[in-house]
Structure 1
Amino acid sequence: MISNFFSQSKPINFVVVSFLLLTVFVLTKHFNLEIDLSLFFISKQIVLFGVCLFSVFVFDFLVNKNNLTKKNSYRILLFVLFFAILPETILNSKTLLANLFVLFAIRRIISVRTKKDVKKKLFDASFWITLAACLHFWTLLFFALIIAALIVYVIVDIKNWLIPITGFATVMIIVLSYLILTQQDFTEVFNMELIQVSFDFSPLNSKRIIIGSTLIFSFGLWSMFYYLKNLKSKTKSLRPSYTLIIVAVIIGLLIIVLSPVKNGGEFIFMFAPLSIIITNYFEVTSEKWFKETLLWVLLLTPLAILLL
């Protein structure tokens, strides 16, 4: 049974998930891109797959390090299955890299709970979020997650509240220095197009995206009910971290709504928090047949979508 196999965290689980990700990556590129077997194309795809795979390991590390789920492989399986269900997320290299930077930031934000090296963690988080924003502007909304962390972890020192500004400024100084050295026009890089908002969802009007997003949101909403219900049962030290995951879901949803270019790639920013929430549901549900059914639905949906 799939649920039993992934109920533990073993090296074989990582091997299986990595192979599944490779299969999804290759098939997505094969069906959606004109393959040019040049050295540049192959090298680029290897790097992009490396970003995808590294994102999985970074995600698993941040969850495991902060005890956001129990010791199992459901979280990484769900994370990869979301790529399979919405393969558009693999096609955009900028959002792939931006999501990796966001995962770096979330890891540092949640680790603030230890109250150790708080200033360094806040600086790192703001630095990574600003880097992500250089690739996808609306990831700047994850600065709200830093503010939420300062509130739920009761960080009252005003100096800590100013640290994220220095992280943002550092990236901006680096970018401006690069533009000066390369003699590029500032007005062409920093213009109002950066902060465009679009509420036109017609680009998402395809069977594949509709079915995939509906499935993910349905499972996420169902699991969220149990996640909120069991939030009070968490230890006092861990409860703020679980609350931040809810904030991250809301931010991911806002990015989908506000993004000026809607091609399905923007859904990637919800994969990590939703994987955590659904994994928590898998851990508390006593109905093994239902959990098994949900996993089979998630596994078979990408195959069904390919036939559309």
Structure 2
Amino acid sequence: MITTIFSKSKPINFLIVFSITLIANVMLHIKYPETLDNSVSLLQNIGVFLTVFLSILILNFVVTKNFLSQQNNYEILVFALFILAIPQVFLDYKIVISNCFTLLALRRIISIRSKKEIIKKLFDSGFLIGIASLFYFWAILFFPLVFIALLLFSETNPKYYLVPFIGLATTTILAISYSIIVYDDYFVALHINPTFNLDLSQYNSLQFITVITMLLSFGLWSSLFYLKDIKKKMRSYRPSYKILFIACVLASIIVLFAPKKNGSEFLFLFAPLAVIIINYIETIEEAWFREVFLGLLTIIPIVLLVL
């Protein structure tokens, strides 16, 4: 049934995903009220929700534009189900905004494949990752992805490797200017906070143990087939698949390093992992097994919400 509904890109798919995301936001307030910041207004909450949904739409654009799937909407369904499993992703608006800019940067990085306006795309990538890191410092870990992409796309022009730094420097200069004008200080707006926390005891709950087990098991299993099948893709598209896998690895490091582990940090992982999983789902020839695979991804978040 699930595969039938999402077999092709249709408006109803976006409505379903919107509803799942909305339910996740509502359930956060019902099931985990102790995690909420009472100072956050309804308008702010709506803004965070819409930004998360915008991130889902950006992922869909990246996947569709770069032919990273068979032109269905599995990736946004899996993304929304991940959010349903960890509705705490709505808790930190800074991470939500940072992830949105990171996805925009990923869009520009992957589009280098076309070999058009490369300098502009590199500048945009550095600039967007710079903005993302202003909201959440560890998003800066995605910056090396720009240079990895240049290597994967076989771009050897030395000047290309300087452009992302110019984009990042532009963000820094604008942030310093803003900081001087508003705070009368040079670095307040930069939010440079390289602290990290490797203590995973905050995840010692039924919800997080179950979800992390789900992400690891489904993610690792899908990754094996994902990496194996890359060589079957068209040669010009292979770097894009590799970039997404590396982005998933970098997002996992961010989750591990996150100084405050309340669940919101997992948002960085959801987009690239969703693409990896749907690429595996598309290789499953047995319809019943595909239904079971997607069914488990659907049932586990729902069961966690009702327990």
Q: 1:187 to 1:181 in 2, by over 3 A?
A: closer
TM-score, L = length of structure 1: 0.94
Q: Deviations over 1:80-117 (max 9, x none)?
A: 00101111212221111111010000000000011100
Give the match for residue 278 of structure 1. Answer: 277
Aligned residues: 306
Contact 1:127 1:168 (C-alpha < 8 Å) held by counterparts: yes
Q: Which moved more, 1:15-24 or 1:68-77?
A: 15-24
- State the alpha-carbon separation in 1 of the partners of residues 219 and 179 from structure 2: 42
- State the alpha-carbon separation in 2 of the partners of residues 261 and 167 from structure 1: 28
Contact 2:178 2:189 (C-alpha < 8 Å) held by counterparts: no
Q: Let me know the Cα RMSD of the aligned residues.
A: 1.9
Give the match for residue 57 of structure 1. Answer: 57
Q: 1:265 to 1:166 in 2, by over 3 A?
A: same
Q: 1:37 to 1:274 in 2, by over 3 A?
A: closer
Give the match for residue 301 of structure 1. Answer: 300
- Structure 1 residue 134: Cα displacement: 1.0
- State the alpha-carbon separation in 2 of the partners of residues 188 and 100 from structure 1: 22
- Structure 1 residue 219: Cα displacement: 0.6
Q: Which moved more, 1:296-305 or 1:217-226?
A: 296-305
Contact 1:126 1:165 (C-alpha < 8 Å) held by counterparts: yes
Give the match for residue 288 of structure 1. Answer: 287
- State the alpha-carbon separation in 2 of the partners of residues 81 and 290 from structure 1: 18
Give the match for residue 257 of structure 1. Answer: 256
- Structure 1 residue 129: Cα displacement: 0.7
**2:75 alignment partner AA:** R
Secondary structure of 1:62's counterpart equals helix
Give the match for residue 211 of structure 1. Answer: 210
Give the match for residue 103 of structure 2. Answer: 103
**1:178 alignment partner AA:** Y
Give the match for residue 122 of structure 1. Answer: 122
- Structure 1 residue 36: Cα displacement: 10
Give the match for residue 183 of structure 1. Answer: 183
- State the alpha-carbon separation in 1 of the partners of residues 193 and 96 from structure 2: 19
Q: Which moved more, 1:205-214 or 1:76-85?
A: 205-214
Within-5 A mapping of 1:155-166? 155-166=155-166
Q: Deviations over 1:142-169 (max 9, x none)?
A: 0121011010011111111001111111
- Structure 1 residue 239: Cα displacement: 0.6
Secondary structure of 1:284's counterpart equals coil
**1:69 alignment partner AA:** S
- State the alpha-carbon separation in 2 of the partners of residues 152 and 2 from structure 1: 35
TM-score, L = length of structure 2: 0.94
- Structure 1 residue 196: Cα displacement: 1.1
Give the match for residue 246 of structure 1. Answer: 245
Q: 1:142 to 1:187 in 2, by over 3 A?
A: closer
Give the match for residue 229 of structure 1. Answer: 228
Q: Deviations over 1:219-276 (max 9, x none)?
A: 1111111111111111110011111111111101111122222222111111111111
- State the alpha-carbon separation in 2 of the partners of residues 100 and 261 from structure 1: 19
- Give unpaired runs (5+ residues) of structure 1: none
Contact 1:86 1:213 (C-alpha < 8 Å) held by counterparts: no
- Structure 1 residue 188: Cα displacement: 5.4
- State the alpha-carbon separation in 2 of the partners of residues 20 and 196 from structure 1: 34
- State the alpha-carbon separation in 2 of the partners of residues 183 and 74 from structure 1: 45
- State the alpha-carbon separation in 2 of the partners of residues 73 and 47 from structure 1: 24
- Give unpaired runs (5+ residues) of structure 2: none
Q: 1:11 to 1:187 in 2, by over 3 A?
A: closer
**1:228 alignment partner AA:** L
Percent identical among aligned pairs is 40
**2:248 alignment partner AA:** V
Q: 1:250 to 1:294 in 2, by over 3 A?
A: same
Alignment of 1:112 with 2:112, yes or no, is: yes
Once superposed, which parts of structure 1, at least 4 consecutive aligned residues long, lie more than 6 Å away?
A: 34-38
Contact 2:175 2:189 (C-alpha < 8 Å) held by counterparts: no
**2:63 alignment partner AA:** V
Contact 2:124 2:167 (C-alpha < 8 Å) held by counterparts: yes
**2:214 alignment partner AA:** L
Q: Which moved more, 1:160-169 or 1:88-97?
A: 88-97
Q: Deviations over 1:119-146 (max 9, x none)?
A: 1111111111111111111110101210
- State the alpha-carbon separation in 2 of the partners of residues 184 and 133 from structure 1: 21
**2:304 alignment partner AA:** I
